[in-house]
A and B are shown apart, each in its own frame.
Chain A
Amino acid sequence: MKKIILLCLFNGLLLAETKSWDSHSAYLLPQKRWELGLFQPFRFGYSETIEYSTFPLWFFVMPNIAIKRIESDMAGFNTASRFKLVYPTPLLNMLAKTGIGGMIDPNFQMPPMLGLSASWLMSKPMIGLDLTVNGGLDLGIVLGDLDHRSNIDLPLVYHRLGMFYNKWGMHTGLDVQKNLTEKIQVLVDLDIRLLPGLADVQINPDLAKLMGDYSLEHKLLLIWNQSDRFRIMTGYKFVKGEYPYGSDIRFLPYIPMMEKWIPIIELQWAGKRIK
């Protein structure tokens, strides 16, 4: 049995595919290639089986790192696992301030918190589409007292930080990518985040009956690949979720003072490290 498993793993490694510009998929970056976006993480193909990524601008206030590793193929799917580690405490304590920019009540001291996420990704070309499904678990390790009133009840943020208030969560998603022309692609994704039992952790359920145990995020991007070194993306993000005040939906990005949705504009660069 052990031999079969090892053979499967070895077979997986031999068949492991690499692809540029496919951070959402089970494919890894080619070895030594790096990619960086305005809002996307810095990714680096460390080896044929391992890829690292991090948000460099956030790193000093929110240390974070993710590792994607090739796994053996399953049912004809290219498969990878991804592990993320994030330490948001310094950033959250910076946001707990008086005056403009204070996103959290300054009376709250955010305790040391470590977020761990493990995901399983499976990708396969099917009927002219590149399909990726993913799923995984999130663990929020909190070393101290975390007051539930320190939440940030904004789309995208609330459910990502929810793992710390709920101790754990789940996520799953589907990504579909299609080449429209040689240089133009379209990417559509759908992600669901679940915080099971979040309502039960409330001190007083009568006051905040809806603590918001799910969010659904959908994104559509049109991508123009100028070369394998630069590309531009535009599109939208749609978020529907349950929050402490009830359900809410929003198109993003949204500019408050203009009260307007504007399209996502993302620029990405890539290169190869040469020894």
Chain B
Amino acid sequence: MERIISITGIFLILACDPFVTEFPDSSNPVMFKAANASDTTYVYDGFEIKVVTWNIRFGIGRFPFFGDSCGDSVIADDESVEANMVAIAEAINAMDADIILLQEVDLESKRTGYLNQVQYLLDNTYLNYGSYASMWEADYIPSDGVGRINTGNAILSKYELTDAERIQLRLRTDQSDLIQYFYLRRNIIKAKIPVLSQSGKDFFAVNIHATAFATDDTKEQHINKYIEVLGNIDAGGGIFVTGGDLNSVPPGSVIDFCESDMCVNDNFHTDNADPYHKEGSYFENFSGEPDILVPLYDTYDPAIDTASYNLPDHFTHAPSTSMINDTTVTMYDRKLDYLFTNGTWDSGSGSTDQSVWELSDHMPVSAIFMPASD
């Protein structure tokens, strides 16, 4: 009888899973392990640690997705998703990173053939352990044919991850309740990597994907929370490598990309334009937004330093459908992706790999962390 009651209870709980998943301020991410992890366990040799951040755009390459470009496509075809994921796995293997911070990774989403991309990348790269924090998880998005969706941030590592935490970022306030219910819930994901502890100090990887399209102060809240999380690790004596898609341009950058991102029939920067600026293409929605990253640059060691961060060689993003002219794609025209540490990067190791521009609308940024000497 007890067994029947227990089984019934489990069924009741599972059968009433929320339609759209909402998250508390702090929760446990989903942990993953490569199918062959036990065969390829790495032993940390105490030398340098390569770190990469990459928004892989859910493995659809330059597909003209309706949500983040001028395209009108929604569901990618299986062949394209597979070809892109194979290429992303090959690119990751070529990078030979110890830790990779990924944004926009899909798990069993309809738009990408229901593939579990975290597990796929773990099983097809030398990386062994993963931690995943969803930013958009719903049984069904009843709009534009999106359907089932689960996408978010992931930390993949050669070494075991522990003490992982998903930290909820504030929701946008410039949306109706209905839209907000079905919309993204962005987050920071943090994990400890015990084997990489430096001189007795805990070693953390921290990954963020800040808001792209908010026109209120949500981005400021996200960056402030990010600075707070990093500050807490630092104050606690921990070492971190961190990065992600901050959806913010460096200080001194162009802040208005409305003209270059404009789609056919769009209307911005005119008296009757509403909104006046294109969401996600304008970087002064609130006072101080152009300098929003200054505290990070002032406090921590950036992979791409202030002398270089506005150079075209370090641009990391352009919308997938941006065109210079009728035949030439804009591969990248701004920097949105960053790496920082409260330790030290190997001088000159920071780089932006623009050769893989066809695999996503973001370029990976990498750097080599120098271990602390005892």
Contacts and interface: CB of A to CB of B under 8 A. Distances in A.
Interface of A: 96-108, 149-154, 202-204, 206-208, 210, 238, 244-246, 248-251, 254, 256-257, 259, 261
A153 B79 contact: no
A149 B144 contact: no
B86 to A, nearest CB: 10
Nearest to A205: B78
B115 A249 contact: no
A99 B140 CA distance: 14
A105 B143 CA distance: 9
Contacts of B72: 98, 106-107
A261 B145 contact: no
Contact of A105 (B14, B18, B75, B81): B75
Contact of B15 (A150, A152, A238): A238
A108 B144 CA distance: 11
Interface of B: 11-12, 14-20, 66, 72-75, 77-79, 81-82, 108, 110, 113-115, 139-140, 142-148, 177-178, 181
Given A207-B113, A208-B114, A257-B181, A251 B16 contact: yes
A244 B114 contact: yes
B181 A245 contact: no
Given A102-B142, A107-B74, A154-B139, A249 B114 contact: no
Contacts of A96: 145
A203 B82 CA distance: 12
B108 A256 contact: no
Given A103-B145, A106-B72, A207-B114, A149 B12 contact: no
B19 A106 contact: no
Contact of B19 (A104, A210, A254): A254
Given A102-B146, A208-B113, 9 more contacts: A96-B145, A100-B178, A151-B147, A153-B140, A207-B81, A208-B115, A238-B15, A251-B16, A256-B20
A248 B108 CA distance: 13
A111 B198 CA distance: 62
A154 B177 CA distance: 23
| Interface residues of A, dominant DSSP | loop
A150 B145 CA distance: 8
A151 B361 CA distance: 28
Contacts of B146: 102
A92 B146 CA distance: 15
Contacts of A97: 144
A99 B144 contact: yes
A133 B17 CA distance: 32
A102 B15 contact: no
B75 A204 contact: no
Contact of A249 (B15, B77, B108, B144): B15
A102 B140 CA distance: 11
Nearest to A255: B19
Contacts of A102: 142-146
Contacts of A106: 72, 74, 144-145
Given A103-B145, A154-B139, A208-B114, A203 B78 contact: yes
A98 to B, nearest CB: 5
A145 to B, nearest CB: 13
Contact of B143 (A99, A152, A244, A249): A99
11 contacts: A96-B145, A98-B66, A100-B178, A104-B145, A106-B145, A149-B110, A202-B78, A203-B79, A249-B11, A250-B15, A257-B181
Contact of A101 (B18, B108, B139, B143): B143
A100 B142 contact: yes
B339 to A, nearest CB: 31
Given A207-B114, A251-B12, A256-B19, A153 B144 contact: no
A153 B178 CA distance: 21
A206 B73 CA distance: 22
Nearest to A250: B15
A45 B115 CA distance: 49
- 10 closest Cβ contacts across the A-B interface? A105-B145, A207-B113, A204-B78, A256-B19, A245-B108, A105-B74, A149-B75, A251-B15, A244-B114, A102-B144
Contacts of B139: 154, 248
A199 B104 CA distance: 28
A268 B319 CA distance: 54
B141 to A, nearest CB: 9
Contacts of A256: 19-20, 181
Contacts of B78: 202-204, 207-208
Nearest to A204: B78
